[in-house]
Structure 1
Amino acid sequence: MPLNSLVHNPRNARRDLEGVEGLADTYETAGVLQPCLVIPVDTFRAAFPENADELPVTGCVVIGGNRRLAAARRAGLRTLPVHLNTKLTTREEILVAAAIENIAREELRPFEELATIEDLKAELGTYDAVAKKLGKTPGWVSQRRRLGNLQPELREALETRAPGMTIEIARDLGKIKGREEQLAAWKAEQKRAASRAADPTVAKQPKAKKAGKVPAQGGAGGGDSAPLDDAAKARREACLIAVAAGAGDLARISIIAAQAPVAPDEAVALAGQWLTETAEGSSALNLATLAGEEGTDRQLRAALALALAQCELHATRTSGTDSAHARAYADWLETHTDYQPTTTEPAPAA
């Protein structure tokens, strides 16, 4: 089709079309190898009347290949190969087609992906429906939704690729609900990134979200080696996120922990594992060195880890039968992390 009969999709998730210059250079030498997906303008107008004023009366709207269209114009081409799809007629069909095209080609930035998911959710009603339409798992959608929880400073850090920030770290930070807790966790991650940059021999710490790092059912140091059930895995992942943030209502969790009778050695072992995985180090629990670290952030983080370990070991051993304690512990996790009780966890007694 002639380029002057093609227009960009006004609802395209990609706001900044990167790499157009390099793509234009290849078009000048090798031509356009991949056709664009287009639909008639009148079809798009009928589906999206709110965008009608942005479109010409005739021609086609590019649903997949907006960067190719921009590059073709830059290269001075007169025509562009297209695939004209007349079966896409509804808002849902058009949005899904554009999303699949962009996501399959990995052309979207993290927040553009998030915006695409939210647009689809507005049309489809649920995030599960979005996942199904895109051929993705609900977990894939959930991971990207976490970015919507990021504070403005962290959004900017991700968009500008600040040192120490990766998409994986951003998604983990997005699990943390409180602003101060989230910023504290990012500050800790920046310190670790600076240490790695200053000393390349420093090993990268394991990621908190890996299930393989979750202790056995009886807790580190316990005699029970049975595997964790899904409910315990979910709780312990939430605990690890909270310890990594180093913030959250310490007074409340300490009161809850004081009413969780567990073996002290087991609690110290489990707390030590969490502190090690979050790069703080289990030495923060050493009694002999506490006097020299009075009131430090490191000591507060150790106290948080120990209190959570006591609660978690008690919850694991009682399987939630101590309903008052289980309810208070779960409420703390839901308040300070993105923890949600699993379906395998028994409902608290009335």
Structure 2
Amino acid sequence: MAGAQNDGLSVAERRRLLAEQRRREAAASQQGALVSTPEMPLGLLVHNPRNARRTLDGVEGLADTYEGAGVLQPCLVISVETFRAAFPEHAAELPIEGYVVLGGNRRLAAARHAGLATLPVHVNVRLQTREDILVAAATENIAREELKPFEELDTIEELKTELGTYEAVAQKLGKTAGWVSQRRRLHHLQPELREALETRAPGMTIEVARELGKIKDRDQQLKAWEEERRRAADRTASPAAGKAEKPKRIRKVPAQGAAGGGAGAPLGDEAKARREACLMAVSAGAGDLARLSIIASQSQVDPDEAVALAGQWLTEAAAGSSALDLAALAGEEGTDRQQQAAIALALARCELHLTRTGGSEADSVHARAYTDWLETHADYQPTDAEPAPAA
């Protein structure tokens, strides 16, 4: 949406300002710098049609502060021409000339509400590609903590579509893979719990929502939420009792099939869920291979069984078990197929080790390290997750 051009500029004046701005951008582009413009007419600024924020809350209150003190924080903008080239699907929503606000859409709305004529901006001439623009907008919003939980989730998924993997998303945002994984748990919330989070129902916090998102079964998830709501009500009715309760969440190593069972032993639900996650990781060919290799090196398993299981995953992932052929390693060096094979073999060692030990106390650290890797890189979530803790 282009928004109202309430700066009172004539067409000739607007073109003169644009021409002057472009000269500054050309000079800054040669130096690889931001273009700082103390004030830009609001008529030259438009909202980002891909803004992750679904609603711009608190605009009126922000406008009140602008009337007294003005706008202190500059908006991050790029030219409409650059935005159109990166996102041609939004061309019809934009004017021919001007600048798209990537960071500061609420500030722009508030400035218009307050009747201001100009806004301070930084024009970033280095942002040219679709990826660069999406990452810059996401980083701005997340760094300022301006996104609601599901807006944050939508941003992560949009970036994943562009970048290919969640690990790449984390790197671009300057976050850990675990940070991304925690937010992705909201995918698994039932509609009732989504509404509770969005409306900030008593007892529902983002931390509680993420824990509930680990429970995939609908009935168990709703039951855990009811228990959490009851505890929240008890704390409200009796603050002293709630303070004394301080329940702690106990992270358990997932239950396994028969400990010490051979290759043909029946698998429990948790082992099946893990192996589905392993296949997902092998198919993607992505993940922190260095961390996984350290874990796998401490897995005591039969090498032939590990190769057989890894070969099965590679075949299902369409990479082919021949990726594990020792004689062909030199010719495969550095290829994506070899990366898949290395992940598959490391996962197979970890999985066989955990299936046999059953997550015994002696191996609990190893089990936790392995399942943490799966949760981070393959969206694995234990099916016997504990009910959510008190906030």
**Does the alignment reach a TM-score above 0.5?**
yes
Partner of 2:89: 50
Partner of 2:237: 198
Q: Is the 8 A contact 2:254 2:270 kept in 1?
A: no
The unaligned stretches of length 5 or more in structure 1 are: 215-235, 240-252, 260-314
Shift of 1:330: 3.3
Do the aligned partners of residues 347 and 168 (structure 1) sit closer, same or farther apart at CA in structure 2, a change above 3 Å counting?
Answer: closer
For 1:237 and 1:14, the matched residues in 2 are separated by 38
Could you report, residue by residue, the CA deviation over 1:54-105 in whole angstroms, capped at 9, with x for unpaired residues?
1111100000000100110011100111101111111100000000000000
Match of 2:268, SS?
A: helix
Do the aligned partners of residues 129 and 174 (structure 1) sit closer, same or farther apart at CA in structure 2, a change above 3 Å counting?
Answer: same
Q: Is the 8 A contact 1:6 1:59 kept in 2?
A: yes
For 1:148 and 1:159, the matched residues in 2 are separated by 14
Partner of 2:352: 348
Partner of 1:131: 170
Q: Quick one: which amino acid aligns to residue 124 of structure 1? A: L
CA RMSD of aligned residues (A): 2.9
Does residue 70 in structure 1 map to residue 74 in structure 2?
Answer: no
- Stretch deviating more after TM superposition (11-20 or 166-175): 11-20
Does residue 20 in structure 1 map to residue 59 in structure 2?
Answer: yes
Q: Is the 8 A contact 1:37 1:63 kept in 2?
A: yes
Could you report, residue by residue, the CA deviation over 1:137-161 in whole angstroms, capped at 9, with x for unpaired residues?
0000000000111111000000000
Q: Equivalent pairs: percent with the same residue?
A: 66
Matches of residues 1-350 of structure 1 in structure 2 within 5 Å? Answer: 1-202=40-241, 203-208=244-249, 236=252, 238=254, 327-328=267-268, 330-331=270-271, 334=274, 343-344=295-296, 346-348=350-352
Q: Is the 8 A contact 2:160 2:166 kept in 1?
A: yes
Do the aligned partners of residues 193 and 322 (structure 1) sit closer, same or farther apart at CA in structure 2, a change above 3 Å counting?
Answer: farther
For 2:143 and 2:91, the matched residues in 1 are separated by 28
Q: Is the 8 A contact 1:327 1:348 kept in 2?
A: no
Return the structure number with greater relative CO, CA threshold 8 A, min gap 6: 2
For 1:24 and 1:125, the matched residues in 2 are separated by 39
Shift of 1:323: 5.7
Match of 2:352, SS?
A: coil
Shift of 1:329: 6.1
How many aligned residue pairs are there?
A: 248
Q: Quick one: which amino acid aligns to residue 90 of structure 2? A: N
For 1:99 and 1:237, the matched residues in 2 are separated by 35
Could you report, residue by residue, the CA deviation over 1:318-344 in whole angstroms, capped at 9, with x for unpaired residues?
xx6766669426326659x9xx99744
Could you report, residue by residue, the CA deviation over 1:191-218 in whole angstroms, capped at 9, with x for unpaired residues?
111221222122343342xxxx56xxxx
Q: Quick one: which amino acid aligns to residue 141 of structure 1? A: V
For 2:269 and 2:99, the matched residues in 1 are separated by 57
**TM-score if structure 1 supplies the norm length?**
0.65
For 1:44 and 1:199, the matched residues in 2 are separated by 55
**TM-score if structure 2 supplies the norm length?**
0.58
Q: Is the 8 A contact 2:83 2:100 kept in 1?
A: yes
Q: Is the 8 A contact 1:20 1:71 kept in 2?
A: yes
Q: Is the 8 A contact 1:157 1:165 kept in 2?
A: yes
- Stretch deviating more after TM superposition (19-28 or 127-136): 19-28
- Stretch deviating more after TM superposition (126-135 or 192-201): 192-201
Match of 2:219, SS?
A: helix
